[in-house]
Structure 1
Amino acid sequence: MNIPVFDLKRQYKYLKTELDNAFTNVFDSGTFVLGENVRMFEVEFANYLGAEFAIGVGSGTEALHLSLKACDIGPGDEVITVPNTAVPTISAISFAGARPVLIDVTPDTYTIDTKKIEKKITNKTKAILPVHMYGHSSEMEQIKKLAEAYNLRIIEDACQAHCAQYNSRNVGTYGDMGCFSFYPTKNLGAYGDGGMIVTNDEEFYNRLIMLRNYGEVKKFTSQIEGFNSRLDELQAAVLRVKLKHLQTWTNRRREIAMLYQQLLFNSNVQLPCERQWAKHVYHLFVIRTNRRDALREYLQERGVGTQIHYPIPIHMQEAYKKLGYQEGDFPMSERNAGEILSLPIYPELTTEEIETVAGLITEFQGAT
């Protein structure tokens, strides 16, 4: 038996004809940077989410970084976010020259605890950067109220949350900018790095178009200092094919999650929640148990792949000790890091495989 935690080969096999035609069309066009596929994918992705504008960039990290730069956030500024996230969230803030200010997460959604934000706002705070973790939305209504009260920008990290919703509206469209990653294992993934920024603000859109391409307003004419961070044509062509299937894949992820929930309902593991105002898209299906490492080894020995997202909270990473936080500062995030385990979840996973994974978890609990 072999049930990997991710399996991109299954998806490619299903889409092979469509993808091969898309690749051929790009090669035949002879255009590989900022061509028709990027332009069309930006339009299609913006329409899909219900946003006015979309800007294709080099990665999800760069989407966050350029969004901060578009807001003129830099040295001396502070950005509020969470320690329970992937390092790239924090890297983007550091790239901009700003200081990440961390706030612990809720015990059920693993997203920012909005009750703790206000006391961390200072005259240096310029933005709130909520992370829609694992595919579950942050509580955007309260975040918007605080941002309006303190004149702060909102930059949404939706890199794990394509199609996720808050109060029936797609995440990424609540803040000044929403940032998405197209890393291959994402719900909408390319075959390499790629990212997107969506916004409803035309001024931000025009600035981001320059920032991603050396600050140019036209070729060889730079109006502002910019970067080289462009979604390339091949990746855009892949993503245009996959976008047509995203809703079907999202529905399947939710079906898989529901089956896991049913099969593991009476187990001793903590299962993911979905708040009443959220639509969870299950980029990851994350359980929690204080016997995580033993369970992971048990599953691995029986051919089931798992992953830990993420084993070390940001404030305990060597690279970010300079932020001055100590172990114990963020108890929810620290507990999560020691107990969470991501189970296999992708649209091509079969019902039999799901039942096998759940059965092994139940078997492990009965044997130990």
Structure 2
Amino acid sequence: MKNVVDVKELTKRFGELVAVDHINFEVRKSEFFGFLGPNGAGKTTTIRILTGLSKPTEGRVSVLGLDINSRIVEAKRHIGVVPEISNLYDEFSAIDNLLFMAQLYGVPRTQRRKRAEGLLKTFGLYERKNNLFRTFSRGMKRALTIAAALIHNPEILFLDEPTVGLDVVAARSLRNLIGNLHQQGIAIFLTTHYLEEADLLCDRVAILVKGRIIKIDTPKALKAAAEEESVIEFSFGREISELIEDLSNKLPEVKIATVDHNKLRIYGGAPTEVYDSVFSFAKGKGIKIQSINSIKPTLEDAFIKITGLSPIVMAIEKGGK
């Protein structure tokens, strides 16, 4: 089987709202596939459909060659799902949560404890196996939730925003664990609004905006496309976000994105004209330019070029955080 997921013209409506709008993509065997987009783009709706938690309004979806409308029970035996909010039980210990999930997935009784303890060791949780789930840190809860999704040795793992709300250290640790899983040959479908996460982990990414896929390619290819135009970063001596519109009027042919309260990036245009315009703008506003850098494009830069959206939009977490 070449593809583990095939999606054709998938559409999901909630009344007048079109959450997913006629999207097409496939996930290849053993591929790490990223679904990248701001919150509200339709990522979670898509993953809920792919895992049988929601019915599509239109379109066809098959997972591991099985139609999700008619054979979802069979498909679920071969997929692991890690929802954004953990589905484990606070009053169970780590080992009991895994044993219970093993029972639900139909893992033979003689294999359950061995698999559960093996996963606890893999995820660095073995010493805490008898501790209640509610006593775990947020990062440990995410790790155990992923372990539970692997208890039946699935062929594809669906991860919905796995590192949302984690601190930097916990998020890095979890990304390493996920990356190691991929090295073992399991296909992974990741939804994320973290551009760096997608760049680090994914073989290919689909960029989703307002329910529509606008680009699918490797992070390397997306960054190469962005490299066709110059990216220049300017740091100023004070807050400049309220002056972006004035600068945009001086450089109508470029894209300008705020990186920080006193820092911006300019995409495209002739570098000499960009320098002259920014120097003139800064002098006219009485603003000191602290530094200038020519930037090698990142996936964030590619995202800005493709979508026209600010990276600030991607940084906003669910709940407005």
TM-score (structure 1 length as normaliser): 0.25
Q: Larger strand proportion, structure 1 or 2?
A: 2
Larger radius of gyration: 2
